[in-house]
Structure 1
Amino acid sequence: MMTSFVPVLVLFAALAYANAQGDGVTMPREEFPGLGALNAAQRETVDRFVLDHERPTGELKLLAERGGTAVRSSVALRYFFPHSRFVVVPWTLRADPAAKHLYSIPFGLYDVLAISDTGQHESTFHSSGNQEEFGLFLHNHRVKVRNKTEACEVARALADIYGPTGLSLCNNVKSSSSEWRLSYTETRFRPISSYEQVREAYYYRLRVDSRGVVLDGKLVADTLERCKIDNAAESVGNQHSPVN
């Protein structure tokens, strides 16, 4: 469970802004409330994960919202990972009344667990961070991206796992023989302070080997332009900054 909450909330706001600028593609995804779609071994894995990660005591408590657990499925997920199930575990942070002034409590935290047919915990996809775990999951399953069709399906799987806060456009750019930029999206200028604004690009950077097998991946934000609010443009070129 990752805890770098403030940067994550800023990133989610930026991604929502980016998606609002273009023609979004609604990804068909099914969500089955509860754990009824899992077998006994898979349900046991979910229960063990919750018990291992909950912090029910202390001035800042981390509690699983058991009533909000659900199994996510989609055409893309079933195609790439036919022997895995994806389980959403929502979390709530609660501060003791005497300590509330010490914390800024974020909302919408969750983990998505990938669990095999036999109940093996394969991966945890976090609602915070740069989604590197997705790239490693693709690598472990020997997923290949060799053309735009395969890139689009992988982008769909990415959005199906992480939900509407992730990038969801099948606008994929092969930037080199070993790199894809999935769901590439450029924003309009947005203010980052009272006197400065930026125009950015968001995408999921995927590295592949000579056969197209995924090596790793990472959510990336590039600053394309920066200028003052009074429109005195000051170009900064393509500053490359991985999202942490």
Structure 2
Amino acid sequence: MNEIHPTALIEGDVTIGADNVIGPHVVITGPVEIGSGNWIGAGVVIGAPPEVRTWPHPTPGAPSVAGGVVIGDRNVIREYAQIHQGWKAKTVIGDEAFIMNQCYIAHDCSLGSGVTMASSVLLAGHVQLDDGVNLGLGTTVHQFRTIGRGSMVGMSSVVTRDLPPYAKAFGSPATVRGANVIGMERSGVDGGLVARISALYDGTETDPSGIADDRIREQITAWMEGGARA
């Protein structure tokens, strides 16, 4: 069963799994797919139209032609967070995210599993957060940016370009200040890879070609070639 507060408003093409808790004054407008075991706090808005100037905003009760929202399992979405419909593609939330109060997830964003977004984090359109990304209080991410797996971004940072996996970054604009060693160790990353990534980020090593994981290697290479140390 789902526990849905009587003041919640759910309309349109919405599918909901089992064991979800949907709090007071939540508004869900389809097309939306929600998995199981999610906790959705008071005043959360899921499925509002994409904030695109040329988008034909629908009248109340009219069917939506937006790209949709897909939310996985066991996520916590706290009070007054907003997750908008996709525009070019679906807006996707993976599993076991912790999305704190008043966060904003714009159209076409894609969040992997285990993502943490502290209060008032803002994601512009088409942002991709890989698994295990942790964004500090008030972080802002520019549209079309990707933040690699396991990276931690400090509070009030402004992310204007892609960040590689397992980085620690902060500032405006956010820059890589080292490796997220604790995050890597907690997630079971091999010690050799921890040392290799740490050396690449502190500048004592300059060749990522030996990293076996294709995505990690490619993202670090792109970051290095983009002159991100500047």
**Structure holding more strand per residue:** 1
Higher relative contact order (CA 8 A, sep 6+): 1
- TM-score (ref. length: structure 2): 0.28
- TM-score (ref. length: structure 1): 0.27
